[in-house]
Structure 1
Amino acid sequence: MADRVTNITELPLDILVLIFPYLDAKSFLALCSTCKALQQPSIRLDPAYWSYATRSTFRVPNQPVVQHDGLRWQSMYRRLLTQSRVYTWGSNTHHRLGHSYQQAPVVRNPTLPRLNRFFHKTHCSFPTEMERTRELGIIADLQCGGWSTTLLTSKGALYTAGVLNGQLILSTAPAQDHLHALRFPVGYPYSTAAAAYDEPTIAIRQFSAGRSHILGLSDSGRIWSWYHVQKAGLHVKFLNIDLQDASLVDVTDGKPSLYGNVKQVVAGWSCSSAYVYGTGIIVWEPVSRAHNEEETDAMLVLESAEVPKTGYQRTKGASRESDEDKALREEVGVVLNYIILEHFVVFVTDLGKVFCGRFGEKHRIDDILELRQLRNESGSPSDVQGSFRRFAVFKQGEVITAHHDYLEACWNARTTNPEQTDIEGLKKIPALQHNDVISVAFGDFHFLALHSNGSITAYGTELQSCGALGLAGDGSPEGRLRGIAYNGFGHDGKLLPHAYTHGRQVWFEPEKKEWLKHLMNGGKDRDEAQERMQLFSSDRNVQGEVSEWIEQEGREWDKAKGEDGLGAYFALRVSAAGWHSGALMLVNEELADKAHEYDWRNKSFPRLKLSDGREMPGTVPFDEWRFGRPEWQLDVEI
């Protein structure tokens, strides 16, 4: 009997998915188009393939919450080729937003030549595209530092707007400066051309912006650190830790050994860190050159600290584990992700557990503590994100936020109350629960949530009306329409409690900003709306309800979708730090140009039937709720 010829479609799916990573996107799509069997969504939209293809091609960071969404990853791949845009908003001191500068003539004497003085807007409350970013090619990642915004291109180059340490700068950066390419020491390619970054020792695959320094991890596994925008980075080495080149892989039993390879770097408030396979989380003081060391290209870190019990990795043969490893497997598990706060490290493991450790002298950590109330009882992995003094834990659709005071309370009660029962500080903001939140980015007093549908919602307070929430306003009436209440001597803007039931979306359409101005000018009939506008200005509850109506109308505006199911403005990444924010967006300009169907020019200032039974005054018909008036939860505290 002749041997049967096996068709590729007869191979099981778990075999096929091992073949797919060897194909580029064009070849993979060509393969899927050859027959109906390969057109089924489980193959054509294989999330493992499209996640790998997107992250390896464009250096996009992994997003664990949506790692199984194949359609999302494929759509991101297609749109990243032509549609990546960078938007920033908030405080623009030190030019950290990367926006253009306005030049105005200064005439001191008509008989003398005119002198030019550069001005720049110190606040920006509506997302504005960062200057000169399109010429950089595809942007893969964006992160905000204390006084800076840094971009990573798909070629592995880093660019920064602003300064890394604003406390050392007596004046703002030169007005002609926008983005600076972060460079490497003499001997490494200085050019930012694509060819220069074919060199794996300097092509950055992952980076982290701390408060006043930046860490980068290159394709070869080197750690680079920058402490000044205009000074070359330093290659970080350690006295007591051996780091392996990622290309020098030790193969044991047919499986590559990752021992000594760096998985990720995290720049914290005042320290640097990295996760090293086989060692765990290591922490050290940020490095910098002395005045007489300008030619130094590397820095040997003499003192570093290891976070206890973070180095465990699961092995294929558990019987070969030592008793210590077996104990770690049951007690802690494998570290999946971690963050560095001002005084704590917080990490999550594959057992669904969350741990913290408190920094002591020279960032040493003697022990770790499980945060029992954050444990995922299902045992499935969680995620953690945060910076400075606040963080968020993701588990099974819930997003739990907390301040570092909660960590202090748990740490101080680790012997008297090991289960941490009745310790206050964990919060569940209604708008974040089971609402497809991918990530949360924290500034000093505000934070932003990225949702899987590509929208961003804002929460918290913007000091001195700096615009960090991105909801428009600059302290003006337009911000009040979004639910911002302005108080105090510094004119701080704080979101009203009404905003936490469904959130307040950050808008990118310029027409929406014009719509807000139109409404605050009285709409189509200012005299008819005058009494309603006075009630809106004097009654916080009325302001909150009107802002919710505005929110629903704005979301109705966003219904138009492209062929890929994504809207005109799709957020890929969001970041916040200090008093400013930024987002990496995929912008379908053709769809954005068509999204002008909402007839806002003929709208009146809203007239509502309020939840307490009152009717807003006026003669125009009452406005209906697009999605129904919410049952607000007004006791939320941030």
Structure 2
Amino acid sequence: MFPLASSSCDHPTSHAIEIGLPPDIVEATLPYLSTSDIKSLSMTNKYFYKLLDFKASDTLWHELFRKSFGSLHSNVEPLESKTNSHYMSCCELILRTRFPDESWGRLYQLRALDAKLYTWGSLKHARLGFTAASNLSVSPGAINNAGMRLQFGINSPVPVPWDAGSHAPTLEDESIACVSAGGFSFQILTKSGKLYYTGSTYSGGHRGPGPVEGAHDYNLFQQMITHTEQSLTIFNGRTPRHGGLVPINTTSRMPLERPHEDIYARFEDLEESLDQRLGGNKHIRRLFTNDVLKRDTGNPNTLSVDTKTMDNVRIQSISSGRSHILALSTDGDIYSWDGPEVERGVKLVFDGLPHKFSNPILKIGSGWNYNCVSIYNIGLVVWSSRCALQENDTEAKANYKVIHGTHEICGDEKVVDFACCANMCVFFITAKGDQLWLYSNEEVHKVGLPFPDKLVKLVGCYTMLAIFTTSACYTVNVVDGRVEETSLVKLELENEDDMFVSLATGDYHTVALTSRGKIYTWGLESELCGCLGLGSRDQMVNERRVGRIENLRSTRVIKPSLVNVDNRDYVCLAVAAGGWQTGALILE
């Protein structure tokens, strides 16, 4: 259709363009164009410039908002279909509710420039993106320490230092687009497609859905180091190490020694180039894919970092399991960080399935110990392991299964959302929205739960499923691949003008977000970790009277309770929870 646009230059008026490409047709194409494509189209001629005016077009800014912050490719939001084409993401709904008179251009600016990351919970491994000592925003009252010098966790939302620096996000393109939480870390995706994680470990030393047990990826970096060591002359049965001395020939029985060249210097330089952290915050580190390490074509024993690839692989969607991370790039490739030995994301392929160009990945999701993706015209694809990388491999094969009957691409039977719980237990709903389906033990079953309204969204975690309908939110427990129907609970708020629109869970606690941007938490706060964000134990039990003491260091909150942020009327746009920690994107 675009040749019509360029041909208009030969005509005195733009009527031919307006007839061939009326505004509603152009607007319908916007979801399929990148931001740069839209900008280029707007400069083609006067007609497109007026229609796609970056200063005045509310339709354009709404579409740009959805592209940057809609999260339609992850398990945060459902997929679009004809039956929910006007569906708003949680972030869109909250901003439109709280700022009904603002333009989408202004709402885009608020989301891009004013949304800041707040975290609270366990301090182990600096998983919050800071330590109590490194973050000046942490007040003494926000630290749970039970009167002892040992610090357990942060009990109230605290802003994460996101300082400017050589590798830090400083511009609109580097604003935070999405936050996900695993068992031991947060994963932070920027608008420009860079992926970061908090703390010292994303896996906690546990295996994820990586190489099958007993297998290990070929480590090019380690092999180069080993080859370099073995290529040196060995004296006295030892290879010289960093900082050591090399013996030289002498007529004396006692050999003289002299300093040798540091054979590890170039490897240290490579490691340093891959160790990119936020300026001023050493507890937030950037993740790279395995593509960045290259062997030099002229010398196969020389390793280098492909700096061009570092920024060329842009991530558009992320999802986190207990000890692994799944990411979808803008090129439609899947990358997996899936075990303690995996420092750089491994590109995955589904051997035997059609190519990504004809059958792209539409949506990704991570379960407790496995992954699931929705592939166009194929359906839901699950896997809990992959083949190990061999020498010269650039990608690894996932050991996958396709869930039968999930391949429809349109109509009432199209799968619009799925959610992952533990042990290959996948729930999904179709565009019709009248039935909840469960894939468990390699079979698909109907779940006999009564819902008065249409099902529109699912959120899963380790042992709980959240079901959103057009008017309410429900939770139900999932144990050993089956639903405990008697545990079904409808979540309700005292404020009838508000409702839950998003939910996330950790090991034992839940955080939910309302249409007015308010945060509620409940569940078990173990070992004084502070994951509920409701203040100290004394505040929860004695002042607010929302919690009860479970044991020496654990407190339980039964009812969803409001989280306060700096005692102000805040607006939260997204929540994340994992392990013993919680995070939120809150407008400053």
Q: What TM-score results when the alignment is normalised by the length of structure 2? A: 0.65
Deviations for 1:338-362, whole angstroms, at most 9, x for unmatched residues? 11101421112110134333432xx
Aligned mate of 1:398, from 472, 475, 478: 472
| Percent of pairs with identical residues | 24
Counterpart among 238, 241, 246 of residue 353 in structure 2: 241
Q: Secondary structure at the match of 2:571?
A: strand
| Counterpart-to-counterpart distance in 2, 1:198 and 1:393 | 37
Q: 1:270 to 1:334 in 2, by over 3 A?
A: same
Bigger relative contact order (CA 8 A; separation at least 6): 2
Residues 1:299 and 2:396 aligned together: yes
1:488–1:368: structure 2 CA closer, same or farther, 3 Å change rule? closer
The alignment partner of 1:241 has SS state of coil
Corresponding residue of 1:488: 550
Name the SS of the counterpart of 2:489 in structure 1: coil
> 2:153 aligns to what?
123
Deviates more, 1:450-459 or 1:84-93: 450-459
Distance 1:13 1:184 in 2: 40
Residue aligning to 1:152: 189
Q: CA deviation at 1:386?
A: 2.0
Shift of residue 186, structure 1, vs aligned partner: 4.8
Select which of 334, 345, 348 maps to 2:414. Answer: 334
Q: Is the 8 A contact 2:367 2:462 kept in 1?
A: yes
Q: CA deviation at 1:196?
A: 5.1
Distance 1:227 1:20, change over 3 A: closer
Of 283, 295, 299, which residue of structure 2 is paired with 1:178?
283
SS of 2:501's equivalent in the other structure is strand
| Post-superposition offset of 1:508 | 2.2
- 1:359 is matched with which residue? 440
- Whether contact under 8 Å (2:420, 2:459) holds in the other structure is no
Distance in 2, Cα, partners of 1:308 & 1:434: 41
Closer, same or farther: CA 507–488 of 1 in aligned 2, 3 Å:
closer
> Which whole-Å CA distance do the structure 2 matches of 1:5 and 1:283 have between them?
50
**Superposition RMSD on alpha carbons, in Å?**
4.0
Q: CA deviation at 1:285?
A: 1.6
Give the letter for the 1:450 counterpart. Answer: L
Say whether 1:17 aligns with 2:17. Answer: no
Does the CA contact (< 8 Å) of 2:550 and 2:556 recur in 1?
no
Deviation digits for residues 159-213 of structure 1 (CA, Å, limit 9, x no counterpart): 11132222549xxxxxx951221112254699899x75652xx211111011110
How far does residue 57 in structure 1 lie from its aligned partner after superposition? 4.0
Question: What's 1:535 paired with?
Answer: none
In structure 1, C-alpha distance between the alignment counterparts of 2:338 and 2:540, rounded to whole Å: 38
Contact 2:477 2:483 in 1 (8 A): no
Q: What is the alpha-carbon distance in structure 2 between the residues aligned to residue 19 and residue 359 of structure 1?
A: 38
Which residue, 97, 102, 108 being the options, matches 2:128? 97
Map of 2:221 onto structure 1: none
CA contact (8 A) 2:115 2:586 kept: yes
Is structure 2 residue 344 aligned with structure 1 residue 232? yes
1:505 maps to a residue whose letter is L
Give secondary structure in 1 for the equivalent of 2:353.
Answer: coil
1:526-545 equivalences under 5 Å are: none
1:443 paired with 2:500, answer no
SS in 2 for 1:14: helix
Aligned-pair distance for 1:4?
Answer: 11
Q: Report what 1:142 is aligned to.
A: 179
Q: From 360, 369, 383, give the equivalent of 1:284.
A: 383
| Separation in 2, partners of 1:577, 1:336 | 24
Query: Higher helix fraction: Structure 1 or Structure 2?
Result: 1
365, 368, 375: which one aligns with 1:266: 365
- 2: CA distance, partners of 1:19 / 1:367: 36
From 497, 502, 506, give the equivalent of 2:563: 506
Equivalents in 2 of 1:369, 1:19: separation in Å? 37
Could you give the per-residue CA deviations for residues 113-162 of structure 1, whole angstroms, max 9, x where no partner exists?
Answer: xxxxxx98430111112234663231110011011111001111111113
Which secondary structure does the structure 1 equivalent of 2:156 belong to? strand
Q: Do residues 208 (structure 1) and 319 (structure 2) align? A: yes
Q: Is the 8 A contact 1:405 1:425 kept in 2?
A: no
Q: SS of the residue aligned with 1:264?
A: strand
Counterpart-to-counterpart distance in 1, 2:16 and 2:545: 61
How far apart are residue 50 of structure 1 and its match?
A: 3.8
The 8 Å contact of residues 42 and 52 in structure 2, kept in 1 or not, is answered as no
| CA shift digits 1:279-316 (9 cap, x unpaired) | 111111244858xx687542112x311111111112xx
Shift of 1:405: 4.4
Could you state the TM-score of these two structures normalised by the residue count of structure 1?
A: 0.60
Structure 2 CA distance for aligned equivalents of residues 76 and 408 of structure 1: 42
Q: Deviations over 1:563-595 (max 9, x none)?
A: xxxxxx4322101112111012231xxxxxxxx
Task: Map residues 345-424 of structure 1 onto 2, 5 A cutoff.
Answer: 345-360=426-441, 365-374=442-451, 376=453, 382-405=456-479, 408-409=482-483, 423-424=485-486
After superposition, the Cα gap between the structure-2 partners of 1:44 and 1:51, relative to the gap in structure 1 and judged at 3 Å, is closer
Mapped to 1, the partners of 2:334 and 2:377 lie a distance apart of: 17
- The residue aligned with 2:269 is none
The answer to whether the Cα contact below 8 Å between 2:184 and 2:204 also exists between their aligned partners in 1 is yes
Verify the 8 A CA contact 2:336 2:347 in the aligned structure 1: yes
CA shift, 1:81, in A, is 3.5
Gaps of 5+ in 2: 1-11, 32-36, 79-86, 135-148, 208-280, 295-303
* CA-to-aligned-CA distance 1:210-237 (integer Å, 9 cap, x gap): 1110000011111100025771111111
| Alignment correspondent of 1:613 | none
Tell me the secondary structure at the aligned position of residue 476 of structure 1: helix
- 1:38-81 C-alpha deviation (Å, 9 max, x unpaired): 99xxx9544xx444302334575575653485946544411234
Say which SS state the counterpart of residue 532 (structure 2) adopts: coil
**Conserved? CA contact 2:500–2:512, under 8 Å:** yes
Say if 1:390 and 1:404, in contact at 8 Å, map to a contact too.
yes
CA contact (8 A) 2:118 2:586 kept: yes
What secondary structure sits across from 1:373 in the alignment? coil
* 1:54 to 2:65 alignment: yes
Shift of 1:390: 0.9
1:452 partner amino acid: S
| Match among 103, 110, 113 for residue 82 of structure 1 | 113
User: Which residue in the other structure is 2:202 paired with?
Assistant: 164
The unaligned stretches of length 5 or more in structure 1 are 104-118, 170-175, 246-258, 315-328, 411-422, 513-556, 559-568, 588-638
Matched residue count: 441
Letter in 2 for 1:408: R
SS at match of 1:80: helix
Change beyond 3 A, Cα 1:131–1:294: farther
Correspondence 1:581 to 2:570: no
CA distance in 2, matches of 1:487, 1:310: 45
Q: Is the contact between residue 377 and residue 408 of structure 2 (CA under 8 Å) also seen in structure 1?
A: yes
Q: Distance in 2 between matches of 1:94 and 1:161?
A: 9
CA contact (8 A) 1:352 1:375 kept: no
Residue 464 of structure 1 aligns to a residue whose secondary structure is: helix
| 1:270 and 1:342 in contact (8 A); partners too | yes
Q: Identify if the C-alpha distance between structure 1 residues 187 and 369 changes in structure 2 by more than 3 Å, giving closer, same or farther.
A: same
Cα distance in 1 for partners of 2:14, 2:206 equals 72
Distance 1:191 1:478 in 2: 51
